[in-house]
Amino acid sequence: MVLTGLILFPIVAAIVIPFLKGGKTVRFYTLIVGLIEIGLSIPLITEFKPGAGFQFVEKVKWIPSLGLNYYVGVDGISILMILLTVFLLPLTVLCSWTYIKKRVKEFHVALLLTTAACIGLFSVLNLVLFYIFWEAMLIPMFLIIAVWGGPRKKYASVKFFLYTLAGSVLLLVAIIAFYKSAGTFSIPELMKHKFGLTFQIFTFLAMALAFAIKVPMFPFHTWLPAAHVEAPTAGSVILASVLLKMGTYGFLRLCLPLAPEASVTLAPLMIVLSVISIIYGGFVALGQTDIKKLIAYSSVAHMGFVTLGIFMFNFRGIEGALMQMLNHGITTGALFMLVGALYERSHSREIEDNLGLSKYMPIYIGFFLLFALSSFAFPGTNSFVGEMLVLIGTFAKDVPLGLAVIPGALLAAAYMLRLTLKLAWGEPSKAKDWKDLTLREIVMLLPLAFFVIYIGVAPGIFLKTIDPSIKTLITHVEKNSNGKLINRHIIPSYGERQ
Question: Which of 102, 124, 265, 119 shows the shortest CA–CA distance to 186?
Answer: 124
Amino acid at residue number 415: Y
Per-residue pLDDT of the chain (498 residues; tens, 9 = 90+): 899 999 999 999 999 999 998 889 999 999 999 999 999 999 999 999 988 789 999 999 888 877 788 999 999 999 999 999 999 999 999 999 988 888 999 999 999 999 999 999 999 999 999 999 999 988 898 899 989 988 888 888 888 888 888 888 899 999 999 999 998 899 999 999 889 999 999 999 999 999 999 888 988 888 888 888 888 888 889 988 898 899 999 999 999 999 999 999 999 999 999 999 999 999 999 999 999 999 999 999 999 999 999 999 999 999 999 999 999 999 999 999 999 999 999 999 899 999 989 989 999 999 999 999 999 889 999 999 999 999 999 999 889 999 999 998 899 999 999 999 999 998 888 888 899 999 999 999 999 999 999 999 999 999 999 999 999 999 999 888 877 765 654 555 545 554
Under a CB-based contact definition with an 8 Å cutoff, are residues 78 and 97 in contact?
A: no
Taking the C-alpha atoms of residue 254 and residue 203, their distance in angstroms, rounded to an integer, is 10
Taking the C-alpha atoms of residue 180 and residue 178, their distance in angstroms, rounded to an integer, is 6
Phi, psi of 435 (to 5 degrees): -85, 150
Give pLDDT, residue 496: 52
Instruction: List the beta bridge partners of residue 186.
Output: 126
Instruction: List the beta bridge partners of residue 329.
Output: none
Computed over its alpha carbons, how large is the radius of gyration of the chain? 22
Give pLDDT, residue 498: 46
Structural domain boundaries of the chain? Answer: 2-480
Give pLDDT, residue 384: 93
Alpha helix segments (H runs only) across 183-314:
187-190, 197-214, 223-230, 233-238, 244-250, 256-258, 260-265, 267-286, 291-310
Question: Which of 214, 236, 227, 99 shows the shortest CA–CA distance to 153?
Answer: 227
Give pLDDT, residue 260: 93
Alpha helix segments (H runs only) across 426-459:
439-457
Give pLDDT, residue 123: 95
pLDDT digits (tens, 9 = 90+) for 381-436: 999 999 999 999 999 988 999 999 999 889 999 999 999 999 999 888 888 889 99
pLDDT digits (tens, 9 = 90+) for 225-234: 888 888 888 8
Give pLDDT, residue 101: 87
Give pLDDT, residue 156: 87
Under a CB-based contact definition with an 8 Å cutoff, are residues 408 and 391 in contact?
A: no
Taking the C-alpha atoms of residue 173 and residue 199, their distance in angstroms, rounded to an integer, is 12
Phi, psi of 74 (to 5 degrees): -130, 150
Taking the C-alpha atoms of residue 236 and residue 329, their distance in angstroms, rounded to an integer, is 11
Give pLDDT, residue 240: 86
Under a CB-based contact definition with an 8 Å cutoff, are residues 241 and 182 in contact?
A: no
Q: What share of the chain is helix, strand, coil (3-state, %, to 5)?
A: 75, 5, 20
Instruction: Quote the crossing angle between the two packed helices 315-346 and 439-457, to the nearest 10°.
Output: 160
Give pLDDT, residue 352: 92
What lies within 8 Å, CB to CB, of 199 at 6+ separation is 177, 181
Amino acid at residue number 410: L
What percentage of the chain exceeds 70 in pLDDT?
A: 97
